[in-house]
Amino acid sequence: MKIKLFAKYTLILTAIILISCSEKFNINQFETSNDKVNITGDTVYVQIKPSWGGFNKPEAMIIGKEPFIYVADTYNNRIVMMNLNGDILGTREVKHPVALAQDYLLNLIVCAEIDLKDSTTGVKQTYGAVFKFHLVASSHHIEKAKVDTLLPRSIDISNPGRIYTGVATFFDNSFYIARQGPNNSTFIDPDNSILIFKHKKRSDGTAFDTLIGRVANLDPLSSGIPSASLISSITSFNRKNYNIILTLIGRSNFKTQWLKYVQSPEFTGYTVNLTPGQEAMMVPNRFSQPEGAALDNVGNIFVVDASKDSVFKFNTFGAEQQSFGGPDVFKEPYDVGFFDRTLYILDRGDNRIKMFILSTDLR
């Protein structure tokens, strides 16, 4: 798109005024998007430069409630804590972290791995694990934070194939953990599940988290809806409800599913919020390898597809909005976050966090 010189400089100056961390930006940090990033009409995504690097195949990212940015730097075996300028505030060694969430007490919940010794043979075995980091008690020094190991339980030791791939927190500090594994023939406890943790208090006032069961009526291998066939992420809505968005990389034809939690005398549980086959978000095989999702302040949904190297945006009715990407823009995007009009994309193949803003937000 050709832009007149006057309009070009007006756009840049307005961008510097609008973006909260204005001292970080200069006119060379904005690049007009090529046709790979172009959308309908005059609306384009503009990349904010520079992107943030130094990671090794990172697989998850969240923008916390403080807000700080937390990155699962997966193949560096660490969690990275950053501010909104991209400065690293601290790191913590964790084996192969793949999913993150933060509760409303500002605790960080991490899906990762742990090595445990067999009590009989002394041989180490790697298991999927879930940890909780108590950040407030350490004044947000992540390297000093107390850590609780929530999973694996003793029963999981006999199931080393179980891994944990997604986490979402809710208004009451309960949270869900997505689990994958090879054993899905049993109705009672299939590996492909969502586990429910409740935050409770003991009689002495101390708090603890307890596993109370699994989300009901999720078929572990289904190609339909609702399914738990290799859940890659869970996203909650930052509202007083238990609604969730799932991304799946298993056999389901609907690899992004919006599930609404309802309570009534007739039924309590999850229903499908969008009609399969009608809304763009629910077109069969619309996605190939969705690995993460996020919501903005008005409920728009962003989904990153690692196989398609693309970011998809849908409104609250499931209609597709400004989507963009391609191999010239991304190299295996794995997660997405939104804060203050800025879209943050964790690009696993490029080992970077890339930031974008709509051109309409720059005017």
Banded pLDDT at 203 (limits 50, 70, 90): confident
> Percent of the chain having pLDDT more than 70?
88
Structure tokens at 47: 């990349």
pLDDT at res. 363:
57
pLDDT for residue 300 = 94
Strand boundaries in 106-243, DSSP class E: 108-117, 124-134, 146-151, 163-169, 175-180, 193-201, 207-214, 231-236
On the question of pLDDT at 323 being above 60, the answer is: yes
Would you call 28 helix, strand, or coil by DSSP?
A: helix
pLDDT at residue 267 tops 60: yes
Domain ranges within the chain, ordered by starting residue? 5-361
Greater confidence (360 vs 326) lies with 326
CATH fold for the domain made of 5-361: Neuraminidase (2.120.10)
Q: Is the dihedral of CA 216, 221, 222, 226 positive or negative?
A: positive
What pLDDT sits at residue 201?
Answer: 86
Residue 4 pLDDT greater than 50, yes or no = no
Across the range 295-322, mean pLDDT stands at: 95
Name the token pair of 333. Answer: 């995007």
The C-alpha atoms of residue 148 and residue 133 are separated, in whole angstroms, by 7
Read off the pLDDT of residues 137-194 as tens digits, 9 standing for 90 and up.
999 999 999 999 999 999 999 899 999 999 999 999 999 999 999 999 988 999 999 9
Q: What angle do CA 62, 339, 28 make, to 5 degrees?
A: 110
Report which of 221, 236, 222 is spatially closest to residue 191, judged by C-alpha positions: 221
- CA torsion through residues 271, 275, 281, 282, sign: positive
At 42, the pLDDT band (50, 70, 90 cuts) reads: low
Question: Rounded to 5, what percent of the chain is helix, strand, coil?
Answer: 10, 45, 45
Single-letter code of the amino acid located at 223: S
Express each pLDDT in 91-117 by its tens digit: 999 999 999 999 999 999 999 999 998
Confidence of residue 37 (pLDDT cuts 50, 70, 90): low
Tokens of 125: 């075995």
CA angle 112, 168, 57 (to 5 degrees): 40
**Which of 13-17, 128-132, 336-340 is the least confident region?**
13-17
